[in-house]
Amino acid sequence: MQTEYCQRREQLMARIGNGTAIFCSAPTTVMHNDVKYIYRQDSDFFYLTGFNEAKAVAILAPHHEEYRFILFVQPKDQEKEVWSGYRCGVDAAKGIYGADEAYPIAELDEKLPQFLEKADRIYYHIGRDRDFNDTILKHYQCLLHTYPKRGTGPIAIEDTSSILHSLRLHKSKTELDLMRQAADIAVEAHNHALQITAPGRYEYEIQAEIEYIFRLRGGMGPAYPSIVAAGTNACVLHYIENNCQMQENELLLIDAGCAYGYYNSDITRTFPIGGKFTPEQKALYEIVLEAQKQAIEEVQAGNPFTAPHNTAVRILTEGLVELGLLKGEIDKLIEEEKYKPFYMHRTSHWLGLDVHDVGVYQHGENPQLLQPGQVLTIEPGLYIVPGTKPAADQPDIDARWVGIGIRIEDDVLVSADGYEVLTAGVPKEVKDLER
């Protein structure tokens, strides 16, 4: 694995020429008082180093005579480690993580200038850690001030994202292996949830069993707060209370993914709690299912990123017209976004180290074209949100539809000759969801 981190650093260094790139680890975050959330490394930092401790800085200086990869880390300290956990320390930062040189983090201010003085620019992403942003600006300003004396030094700060995130967008075999694991575990958890869901049980019971499987199978835990939403709760897109009792005639929407080796899966299924769809639930479900399947067919190298969304929107709009929830000419309804009260989110996002992974979707007016090695979600839905007022030219919403919320989501890899659904192991056909 260290070889792959090294290759990633080399790829980045080949693109920054005489620049110096600086990466700061994620800050620790407080849960309450002096209790911290479980530490999760910044994804860019992890992608380039595999190093998972806080209070660390990584420098890539391809032009430096001696050291091209430098790590600043917390030094070994037995007393502190007894309280807050193992530290790799300065020596292992070189030995294990392959740094050409490593220093205690306390020496950052003193040592950093030597890696910047001959750089023509600093590559840095202004991030969450405001103190660290200030540190970088302070060094930059200082070097600008003394530039006339040397005639060298950085004269710009450039955001690293456009280079690094275009690398992260294309998953290597190693990354795909981890993503398949994350997907497989979530598939098992969703299949288990299908088995154990029953009227009278509570949403949190299903959440608990799903997340039990995530950890039992060696996952880090949920990739994001799990959504287990019965009935009308499914009309709240980010419903995470998960505290209601499930009723016979409701649908259950589960949006839950697993983090494994820092990579994520993201699956949604919606199915009848009592084992049988009502006619209205089934009618809406079949529209969403068709939209999802047709959108997946659009996942082909060379297609625009927007193709799956556009296809999903068309099928959803046609379906809403057939059911009498919308009326009018399909193209016009789409152009005027009349479907939006029922489908208010996008169909896809990139997936990887981040659930909503990095990488651009659009170059100005032009959407990104899909390329092999990219992974995206396909997740259309329909939500008949209580209280929705139809537009003046649209029909009233019959009460029988109100409160139904449906989403179906899979993780799809763009392959050389089409696509591969990484999460295909969870059923979504009506016949497989009814009992």
Which residue ranges make up the site for ligand GLY (CB under 6 A)? 224, 255, 266, 349, 355, 379, 409
123/343 with CB nearer Mn ion? 343
58/408 with CB nearer ligand GLY? 408
How distant, in Å, are the alpha carbons of 247, 260, 397 from that of 400?
16, 41, 8
Closest residue to ligand GLY: CB criterion: 255
Which of the choices ligand GLY, Mn ion, none does residue 317 contact, using the CB cut-off of 5 to 8 A by kind? none
147/224 with CB nearer ligand GLY? 224
For 133, which DSSP code? H
d(CA 72, CA 49): 12
Residue 349 annotated to the active site: yes
Classified as helix, coil or strand, 341 is: coil
Q: Determine how β-strand 366-367 pairs with β-strand 258-260.
A: unpaired
H/E stretch holding 42 reads none
61/256 with CB nearer ligand GLY? 256
Q: Minimum CB separation from ligand GLY for residue 287, in Å?
A: 19
Q: Minimum CB separation from ligand GLY for residue 193, in Å?
A: 15
Catalytic residue among 145, 150, 215, 345: 345
Comparing CA positions, the residue from 346, 373, 188, 372 lying closest to residue 267 is 188
Residue 192 annotated to the active site: no
Residue 34 annotated to the active site: yes
Q: What DSSP string describes 397-422?
A: PPGGGTT-EEE-BEEEEEETTEEEET
Q: Minimum CB separation from Mn ion for residue 267, in Å?
A: 7
Q: Minimum CB separation from Mn ion for residue 228, in Å?
A: 12
Comparing CA positions, the residue from 169, 241, 128, 219 lying closest to residue 8 is 169
Which of the choices Mn ion, ligand GLY, none does residue 63 contact, using the CB cut-off of 5 to 8 A by kind? none
- What's the token pair of residue 283? 């009618």
56/433 with CB nearer Mn ion? 433
Strands (E), 339-404: 362-363, 366-367, 375-378, 381-383
Give yes or no for residue 357 binding Mn ion (CB under 5 A).
Answer: no
Catalytic residue among 64, 121, 309, 407: 407
Query: At which residue do the structure tokens 């023509």 appear?
Result: 120
431: Cβ–Cβ under 8 A, 6 or more apart, which residues? none
Q: Minimum CB separation from ligand GLY for residue 185, in Å?
A: 16
Comparing CA positions, the residue from 411, 9, 373, 415 lying closest to residue 174 is 373
Q: Minimum CB separation from ligand GLY for residue 75, in Å?
A: 39
Classified as helix, coil or strand, 350 is: strand
d(CA 364, CA 361): 10
Which of the choices ligand GLY, Mn ion, none does residue 193 contact, using the CB cut-off of 5 to 8 A by kind? none
* Piece of 129-137, 237-245, 365-373, 405-413 that binds Mn ion (CB under 5 A): 405-413
71/351 with CB nearer ligand GLY? 351
Residue 331 annotated to the active site: no
Residue 128 annotated to the active site: no
- What's the token pair of residue 176? 């795909």
Cα torsion angle, 324, 388, 403, 225, sign: positive
- What's the token pair of residue 287? 């529209």
Classified as helix, coil or strand, 67 is: coil
Give yes or no for residue 292 binding Mn ion (CB under 5 A).
Answer: no
CB neighbour class for 3 (10 Å; exposed up to 12, middle 13-18, buried from 19): exposed
57/228 with CB nearer ligand GLY? 228
Catalytic residue among 192, 349, 361, 420: 349
Which of the choices Mn ion, ligand GLY, none does residue 404 contact, using the CB cut-off of 5 to 8 A by kind? none
Which of the choices Mn ion, ligand GLY, none does residue 250 contact, using the CB cut-off of 5 to 8 A by kind? none
Residue 32 annotated to the active site: no
Q: Tell me how far the alpha carbon of residue 138 is from its chain's centroid.
A: 32
Give yes or no for residue 266 binding Mn ion (CB under 5 A).
Answer: yes
The amino acid occupying position 376 is L
Catalytic residue among 165, 383, 410, 419: 383
Give yes or no for residue 255 binding Mn ion (CB under 5 A).
Answer: yes
Residue 145 annotated to the active site: no
39/224 with CB nearer ligand GLY? 224
Chain positions contacting Mn ion, by CB under 5 A: 255, 266, 268, 377, 409
Q: Which residues are catalytic?
A: 34, 238, 255, 266, 345, 349, 356, 379, 383, 407, 409
